[in-house]
Amino acid sequence: MHNRSLLFPLVSFLTASCALCGVSAIAATPFAITATNFTWSSAGPNSSQYTVTGIPADGTIVINCIYAGTATAKYPICGGGPVAQVPVTAGQTLTGVIGFQAWGTPVPVSLPRTPHHSEYLPIAGVSLVGVFMAGLGRRRELRRWIAMVVLAMGALTGLAEISACGGTNPFAMTPGTYPYTISAVFQETGSNVPQPVSTTISVAVP
């Protein structure tokens, strides 16, 4: 009986110690973001994988990307579209991808990607699908939308023919290595104080 009476306080102490260790581990992980460099590929997709660690509390995170070099060349484009707030919890690790597009191409609103949303479609395909679906929603204007689709397809075909004939490619980028700043802005639930962290990546264009 005496041994059992000593065992219970010991188990309680060890349990509390383990709980405190878990809290300390979360607190000891610094709030930070890392992202991968990559080399541009004409076959695509082109993206940087980011990881956010040490999320300090429950709240939301916004991932941003901005070109950090000088605007003297034609470089890959990132960012654009509406700001998306991702719900997060304390101690969570958030991962995702940020897509990049060639200079001069339309920037889709879904470039900043969040976990489990890494599917890619060509820019032209996204544009044509959007035009077609909008036309279906307005049956009275269906003919006009079909005409727009035909015109868009004609324009894309013209660009392809120009490239095939050795003409100037309007989407050709200047070879080089370009810097970008990838940031994560955390805002705790119930707070109006943003907490930003950032990292720098490089994108090599052959």
pLDDT higher than 90, residue 120 = no
Structural domains of the chain, count: 2
Same domain, 42 and 9: no
pLDDT, residue 165, reads 52
pTM: predicted TM-score of the whole model, two decimal places: 0.62
What pLDDT, in 10s, does the model give residues 162-205? Answer: 444 555 666 789 999 999 999 999 999 999 999 999 999 999 99
Whether residue 17 has pLDDT greater than 80 = no
Query: Which strands sit side by side in the sheet containing 47-53, from one edge to the other?
Result: 32-35, 47-53, 94-101, 77-78
The pLDDT tens digits of the residues spanning 18-32 come to 444 444 445 579 999
The domain containing residue 6 runs over which residues? 1-29
The domain spanning residue 79 has which CATH number?
A: 2.60.40.10
* Residue 58, pLDDT score: 98
End-to-end CA distance of the chain: 77
The larger pLDDT score, comparing residue 3 to residue 178, is at: 178
**Which residues make beta-bridge pairs with 50?**
35, 96
